[in-house]
Chain A
């Protein structure tokens, strides 16, 4: 077996012991890596009902066969666990030197189980694993922790760490690495914190085995240059992802005021042009030649690395249009280790609930200073921050008074920075995203606005969502590579078959990748259904407020328009039909059999009916 190392490092934090396990080619080719490996391991090893914040949950760090090898853009790592925010399978990816170091240490996967008896970090150097005290940095933010670890182990190591939010089990805490890298939106940082695991530090010095080592190195190096040249030619990284803010404002898709509104006349103050003008540095992931981390100074003078999701959710969604103040909120999220999307959604929901008299409070849209204080309280679970730290779904359950309708989440995960009150296909993409509402799975807004009637609910939109889920939520998550060269620069997807085949010695086509994608999506759905046997299609609905005529825009391009439930139901039916799921959104036996999931279907049948 080439490409894959074939080894899993299993670390028991309770007993401070580890062992190295192997996996075979069948496992490798069925699940490929990253999300695929993490999902299959969690499915096999977690008992249904496992407390996400208990020692029986497992934190998975997973890579793929091209991870860490110089090629576009292979510096990503997947982190996964049963999510404390959603209760389902949860994962995320982030750029980090852990990617190359873990592979060079000899592993495709690391599994962390049990829990430390005191704040600790784990240092992995090839076959050696050390369990070291982290009391000195427990209670400190991610920037201080990274510096502390760099001083101890040198700048060249790979590090994953959490901040105070993870320690205090804020349900939307993430894992951090490098300057502004973060991943694991569904509370994977809280899982790490529940294990009293402050950081994972990795150093590897071995070679990564590739089937065609010399060829891969040559192609990888050449293609990295080509991607860099494409970026220069198009000028994409001048504004990077922040460029889309102005466009969203034009097409009425911007999150404003907890997504009550879709546009704002002040939005230009935080758009891509203004972000670029304020730039003081640019950062990026390892193995990347189109670095997207535009960094500005925040109100307090910290370097704050921005992307569109940060600006949309912490800026326009909160009606905070002072760039430096919005950057402060972003820096605080990075420092405390909180997801910026959920943080913006939580604060927006809180302000909205106060506005509508559902809860008493003193936070108003546009109040940046109070937002900072609330973020601090959330990370530390102080006062009302204890409520905010649970995310919008639980907040709405506690607040009641109809607030569930405007808690902007699907399956418990807050919606990314695209307001879909009149974008049916993208609403479907959010609602069917298998980890909860996340733009990384599929993004169809340009297609809907430019290639189809915006108000159509035709099968072609469901097909487009499935197609993109296969690529974005499938291929890029299991091969573990950043999707940006493809989505932003048009880098040909066939390049990834070349990388994969040179690494593994196999002869796969894109169709082989899509089969793995479908297998992963089916098992993710099965994971949810096993946890929640009364699972039904309502879990694939977007928030009610998007269907409420009273919430329609009163002016602009979508004035008076809103999603229509009856039509959405038909669109969802089309989606299920294409995917081979039943009317509850659960894969049928036939579908699972075709995807090689007979054993998993039998397991699922112990918990719920499969058609």
Chain B
């Protein structure tokens, strides 16, 4: 399955990309996806799936748009 992954803010520089398609053999949890991205593990993350906030245990499926961002607090 193919997932579009977009990183936001400082995660772009940690992960080494801003957005790309990623291929997986089967549906994965958000946690598994994030763990494979070389992001600072101790930094809190917000994960969006198709524009909606999800929990780390939620599953990602084929065609999903996944966005990973730090916790923004509105400047």
Give me the interface of A with B, judged by CB distance under 8 Å.
233-236, 238-239, 241, 243-244, 246-247, 250-252, 272-273, 307-309, 418, 439, 443, 445-446, 449-451, 454, 484, 487-488, 556-558
Report, as a range, how many residues of chain B touch the other chain. 20 to 34
Q: Which of B11-19, B20-28, B30-38 contacts A (4 or more CB under 8 A)?
A: B11-19
B48 CB contact (under 8 Å) in A241, A250, A272, A451? A250
Q: Is there contact, CB below 8 Å, between A446 and B72?
A: yes
* B63 sits at the interface (CB 8 A): no
A250 CB contact (under 8 Å) in B14, B18, B67? B67
Q: Is there contact, CB below 8 Å, between B70 and A309?
A: no
B12: A residues at CB distance < 8 A = 273
A487: B residues at CB distance < 8 A = 73-75
Q: How far is the CA of A479 from the CA of B50 in the complex (A)?
A: 41
Q: Is there contact, CB below 8 Å, between A243 and B70?
A: yes
Q: What residue of chain A has the Cβ atom nearest to residue B52's Cβ?
A: A557
A252 CB contact (under 8 Å) in B51, B67, B71? B51
A246: B residues at CB distance < 8 A = 6, 8-9, 69
Q: Is there contact, CB below 8 Å, between B73 and A234?
A: no
Q: Is there contact, CB below 8 Å, between B70 and A449?
A: no
A244 CB contact (under 8 Å) in B48, B53, B72? B72
Interface of B is mostly: loop
Q: How far is the CA of A558 from the CA of B51 in the complex (A)?
A: 8
Q: How far is the CA of A439 from the CA of B74 in the complex (A)?
A: 7
Q: Is there contact, CB below 8 Å, between B74 and A235?
A: no
Q: Is there contact, CB below 8 Å, between A557 and B50?
A: yes
Shortest CB-to-CB span from B22 to chain A, Å, is: 17
Q: What residue of chain A has the Cβ atom nearest to residue B71's Cβ?
A: A446
Known contacts A557-B51, A557-B52, A236 near B10 by CB under 8 Å: yes
Q: What residue of chain A has the Cβ atom nearest to residue B55's Cβ?
A: A450
Q: Is there contact, CB below 8 Å, between A244 and B75?
A: yes
Q: Is there contact, CB below 8 Å, between A250 and B73?
A: no
Q: Is there contact, CB below 8 Å, between A234 and B70?
A: yes
Q: Is there contact, CB below 8 Å, between A239 and B9?
A: yes
Q: Which 5 A-B pairs rank lowest in CB-CB distance, beginning with the nearest?
A: A557-B51, A443-B74, A235-B10, A243-B9, A487-B73
* B1 sits at the interface (CB 8 A): no
Q: How far is the CA of A16 from the CA of B40 in the complex (A)?
A: 59
Q: How far is the CA of A445 from the CA of B46 in the complex (A)?
A: 12
Known contacts A234-B43, A247-B67, A443 near B73 by CB under 8 Å: yes
Q: What residue of chain A has the Cβ atom nearest to residue B73's Cβ?
A: A487
Q: What residue of chain A has the Cβ atom nearest to residue B75's Cβ?
A: A241
Known contacts A250-B67, A308-B75, A446-B71, A238 near B13 by CB under 8 Å: yes
Q: Is there contact, CB below 8 Å, between A250 and B9?
A: no
Q: Is there contact, CB below 8 Å, between A243 and B50?
A: no
Q: How far is the CA of A336 from the CA of B40 in the complex (A)?
A: 42
Shortest CB-to-CB span from B56 to chain A, Å, is: 11
Q: How far is the CA of A459 from the CA of B12 in the complex (A)?
A: 36
Q: Is there contact, CB below 8 Å, between B6 and A250?
A: yes
Q: How far is the CA of A488 from the CA of B72 in the complex (A)?
A: 7
Known contacts A234-B40, A439-B75, A487-B73, A449 near B53 by CB under 8 Å: yes
Q: Is there contact, CB below 8 Å, between A307 and B75?
A: yes
Q: What residue of chain A has the Cβ atom nearest to residue B44's Cβ?
A: A490
B52: A residues at CB distance < 8 A = 251, 449, 454, 557
Question: Given A238-B13, A246-B9, A449-B53, list of 6 further CB < 8 A pairs?
Answer: A244-B9, A247-B67, A247-B69, A251-B53, A309-B75, A418-B74
Shortest CB-to-CB span from A116 to chain B, Å, is: 35
B73: A residues at CB distance < 8 A = 443, 446, 487-488
B53 CB contact (under 8 Å) in A308, A450, A558? A450
B51 CB contact (under 8 Å) in A235, A250, A307? A250
Pick from B12, B14, B46, B48 the residue with the most CB of A within 10 Å.
Answer: B12
A234: B residues at CB distance < 8 A = 10, 40, 43, 70
Shortest CB-to-CB span from B48 to chain A, Å, is: 6
B39-63 vs A, CB cutoff 8 Å, 1 = contact: the mask equals 0100100101011110000000000
Pick from B46, B69, B70, B73 the residue with the most CB of A within 10 Å.
Answer: B73
A272: B residues at CB distance < 8 A = 8-9
Q: How far is the CA of A236 from the CA of B70 in the complex (A)?
A: 9
Q: What residue of chain A has the Cβ atom nearest to residue B12's Cβ?
A: A273
Q: What residue of chain A has the Cβ atom nearest to residue B74's Cβ?
A: A443
Pick from B13, B71, B75 the residue with the most CB of A within 10 Å.
Answer: B75
B53: A residues at CB distance < 8 A = 251, 449-451, 454
A239 CB contact (under 8 Å) in B10, B71, B74? B10
A450 CB contact (under 8 Å) in B6, B18, B46, B75? B46
A273 CB contact (under 8 Å) in B14, B18, B48, B71? B18
Shortest CB-to-CB span from B13 to chain A, Å, is: 6
Shortest CB-to-CB span from B72 to chain A, Å, is: 5
Q: Is there contact, CB below 8 Å, between A243 and B72?
A: yes
Q: How far is the CA of A308 from the CA of B73 in the complex (A)?
A: 12
Q: How far is the CA of A285 from the CA of B75 in the complex (A)?
A: 15
B8 CB contact (under 8 Å) in A236, A243, A556, A558? A243
A239: B residues at CB distance < 8 A = 9-10
B18: A residues at CB distance < 8 A = 273
Q: Is there contact, CB below 8 Å, between B13 and A244?
A: no
Q: How far is the CA of A224 from the CA of B14 in the complex (A)?
A: 24
* 20 A-B pairs whose Cβ atoms sit less than 8 Å apart in the complex: A234-B70, A235-B10, A235-B13, A236-B70, A241-B75, A246-B9, A246-B69, A247-B46, A250-B6, A250-B48, A250-B67, A307-B75, A309-B75, A418-B74, A439-B74, A443-B74, A446-B72, A446-B74, A451-B53, A454-B52
Shortest CB-to-CB span from B38 to chain A, Å, is: 13
Shortest CB-to-CB span from B12 to chain A, Å, is: 6
Known contacts A243-B72, A250-B51, A487-B73, A238 near B8 by CB under 8 Å: no
Q: Is there contact, CB below 8 Å, between A556 and B70?
A: no
Q: How far is the CA of A446 from the CA of B46 in the complex (A)?
A: 8
Shortest CB-to-CB span from A479 to chain B, Å, is: 18
Shortest CB-to-CB span from B51 to chain A, Å, is: 3
B14: A residues at CB distance < 8 A = 235
A445: B residues at CB distance < 8 A = 72, 74
